[in-house]
Amino acid sequence: IMDILIAVFLVICSTLLTLAVQKKSKPKNNNEKIKKSMKNKVTASKLLDEHTQEFPKKEVIKVADNVYCAIGYGLANSIMIEGEDGLVIIDTMECVEVGREVMAAFRLITNKPV
């Protein structure tokens, strides 16, 4: 149960961080949004590249007993919680292809059913 609580806590923290960043950068009205969008067009590619460099390689990290996190595979992290007779996968990624790649990495750890 502690493993599940830790994994849920990690997901909640990740979500709260994402919401805080979105709220901080959210324009106050549509005119500001348009101006900001036009102003940041040149830097969007650079910012995306910088974010990508934070996770240069694909790997599965053991976070706690029976809790693993796949990073570097896509836009989000995918978490696997291993129970006694099965798995819980949190965030199946942004597309089927990346989800399959993450699942293949998780399968190197266990073959329990999802």
Q: What is the per-residue pLDDT for 24?
A: 52
Cα–Cα dist 109/89, whole Å: 13
Q: What are phi and psi of 67, to 5 degrees?
A: -130, 125
pTM summary value: 0.57
Q: What is the model's pLDDT at position 19? A: 58
pLDDT of residue 29: 56
Residue 72's pLDDT is 86
For the chain, give the DSSP string. Answer: -HHHHHHHHHHHHHHHHHHHHHHHH--SSHHHHHHHHHHHHHHHHHHHHHHHHTS-S-EEEEEETTEEEEESSSSS-EEEEE-SS-EEEE---SSHHHHHHHHHHHHTT-----
Q: What is the pLDDT of residue 109?
A: 96
pLDDT along the chain (114 residues), means of 10: 72 64 54 59 62 76 92 86 93 86 95 94
